[in-house]
């Protein structure tokens, strides 16, 4: 069974979707067969993958029991749209409501090398489903006031998923995202995160840059659009590979880094 990583945060706009898209791209370039799952009715990840807005079936249909997950794979993504919100409401009163996504993805976990799940900006039933379906979780946070408080809420939901339905679930790490390290506030946030999360905090900080919005708009991965910024995601991938115990892939990552950002060669394993 492959790993499944859910990317979540307590609030909106912390760069979750961009992270899922960018990591999916890097892992693919490393030769993995990656599936991205859009668990957000906003459908941003689906857009970023340039999925046809009329794709059918989508994750909503799968969770409503009207389609198999394998049939809802369009290209490299299981897309979502507003039907997912409907499906979530429908699940609410049902027995097994928290394990629906896990059951739906079971076969794909066997056939794919890695599954990345993009959570919505709430800690509701969809995020719980993602955490129950996942082997690992990444918490994404922005350097904003109250973000630490939000992190605690996200941690509580993670603990809940682990204690009740998914004892194997592991916090892969916490990532400071969309950060402008020139500001004192961002540096203080990083320090506070380090104090709270210790080794679980990724050393890589995803720098704030307008090129992410531009690349999303054009549905082009950041490594194609602006490789020098995408280098942050190469570094993050290096940390993720180590934490997953996939050291054997680091060499390939270094080759990839040398290829796309020659100036940074050696940075991912160094
Ligand atoms: N490193 C970055 N620097 C600057 N902008 C970024 C960065 N990463 C993402 N963004 C932009 O910030 C906005 C929010 O990003 P994204 O959609 O990935 O966040 P999200 O957490 O998925 O949001 P939501 O909670 O609504 O799902 C988008 O316009 C995106 O292009
Ligand atoms: Mg999103």
Confidence (pLDDT) at 143: 85
- pLDDT tens-digit profile of 41-78? 999 999 999 999 999 999 999 999 999 999 999 999 99
Interval between CA 202 and ligand 2 midpoint (Å): 20
Interval between CA 200 and ligand 2 midpoint (Å): 22
Average pLDDT over residues 261-265: 75
Interval between CA 223 and ligand 2 midpoint (Å): 19
For residue 129, being part of any structural domain is answered with: yes
For ligand 1, pick from 178, 183, 229, 233 the residue to mutate: most ligand atoms within 8 Å of CB: 178
For residue 243, being part of any structural domain is answered with: yes
For residue 30, being part of any structural domain is answered with: yes
Confidence (pLDDT) at 244: 98
What is the rounded CA–CA span in Å between residue 71 and residue 65? Answer: 12
For residue 203, being part of any structural domain is answered with: yes
- pLDDT tens-digit profile of 170-204? 999 999 999 999 999 999 999 999 999 999 999 99
What is the rounded CA–CA span in Å between residue 144 and residue 240? Answer: 24
- CATH number for the domain spanning 114: value is 3.40.50.300
- pLDDT tens-digit profile of 14-32? 999 999 999 999 999 999 9
Confidence (pLDDT) at 252: 98
DSSP one-letter code for 129: H
pLDDT bin (cut points 50, 70, 90) of residue 147 is: confident
Interval between CA 177 and ligand 1 midpoint (Å): 9
Average pLDDT over residues 135-144: 94
Which atom of ligand 1 approaches the CA of 207 most closely?
A: 1
Q: Is the pLDDT of residue 80 over 80?
A: yes
Q: Is the pLDDT of residue 89 over 70?
A: yes
pLDDT bin (cut points 50, 70, 90) of residue 270 is: very low
Give the pTM: 0.97
Interacting residues of 195 by C-beta distance below 8 A, sequence separation 6+: none
- Look up the domain containing 176 and give its range: 3-264
Q: Structure tokens of 153?
A: 């809420």
Q: Average per-residue pLDDT in the chain?
A: 95
For ligand 1, pick from 212, 216, 231 the residue to mutate: most ligand atoms within 8 Å of CB: 212
Confidence (pLDDT) at 263: 77
Which atom of ligand 1 approaches the CA of 232 most closely?
A: 1
For residue 141, being part of any structural domain is answered with: yes
Interval between CA 141 and ligand 2 midpoint (Å): 12
Which atom of ligand 1 approaches the CA of 9 most closely?
A: 21
For residue 28, being part of any structural domain is answered with: yes
Q: Whose CA is nearest to atom 11 of ligand 1?
A: 213
**CA distances from residue 6 to 19, 52, 158 in whole angstroms, order as listed:** 11, 23, 11
Number of domains composing the chain: 1
Average pLDDT over residues 85-104: 96
For residue 269, being part of any structural domain is answered with: no
**CA distances from residue 15 to 1, 55, 56, 109 in whole angstroms, order as listed:** 28, 24, 26, 25
Which atom of ligand 1 approaches the CA of 210 most closely?
A: 4
| 11 within 8 A of 178, measured Cβ to Cβ | no
Lowest mean pLDDT among 190-194, 231-235, 256-260, 266-270: 266-270
Residues with a CB atom less than 6 Å from ligand 1:
9, 12-18, 40, 42, 44, 121, 178, 206-209, 212-213, 216
Confidence (pLDDT) at 149: 81
What is the rounded CA–CA span in Å between residue 82 and residue 67? Answer: 16
Percentage of residues in the chain having pLDDT higher than 90: 92
- pLDDT tens-digit profile of 113-126? 999 999 999 999 99
Interval between CA 214 and ligand 1 midpoint (Å): 11
For residue 135, being part of any structural domain is answered with: yes
């Amino acid at each position: 069974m492959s790993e499944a990583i859910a990317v979540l945060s307590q609030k909106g706009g912390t760069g979750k979707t961009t992270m899922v898209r960018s990591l999916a791209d890097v892992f693919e370039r490393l030769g993995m067969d990656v599936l991205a799952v859009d668990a957000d009715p906003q459908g941003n990840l689906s857009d970023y993958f340039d999925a046809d807005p009329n794709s059918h079936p989508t994750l909503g249909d799968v969770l409503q029991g009207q389609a198999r997950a394998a049939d809802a794979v369009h290209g490299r993504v299981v897309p979502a749209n507003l039907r997912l919100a409907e499906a979530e409401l429908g699940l609410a009163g049902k027995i097994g409501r928290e394990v629906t996504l896990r059951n739906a993805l079971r076969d794909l976990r066997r056939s794919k090398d890695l599954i990345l799940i993009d959570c919505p900006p709430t800690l509701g039933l969809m995020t719980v489903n993602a955490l129950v379906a996942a082997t690992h979780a990444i918490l994404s946070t922005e350097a904003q006031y109250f973000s630490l408080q939000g992190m605690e809420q996200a941690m509580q939901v993670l603990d809940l998923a682990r204690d009740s339905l998914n004892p194997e679930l592991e916090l892969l790490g916490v990532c400071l995202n969309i950060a402008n390290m020139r500001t004192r506030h961002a540096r203080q946030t990083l320090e506070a995160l380090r104090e709270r999360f210790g080794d679980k905090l990724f050393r890589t900080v995803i720098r704030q840059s307008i090129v992410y919005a531009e690349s999303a708009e054009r549905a082009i991965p950041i490594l194609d659009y602006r490789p020098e910024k995408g280098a942050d995601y190469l570094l993050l991938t290096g940390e993720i590979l180590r934490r997953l115990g996939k050291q054997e892939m680091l060499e390939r990552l270094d080759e990839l880094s040398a290829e796309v950002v020659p100036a940074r060669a050696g940075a991912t394993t160094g």
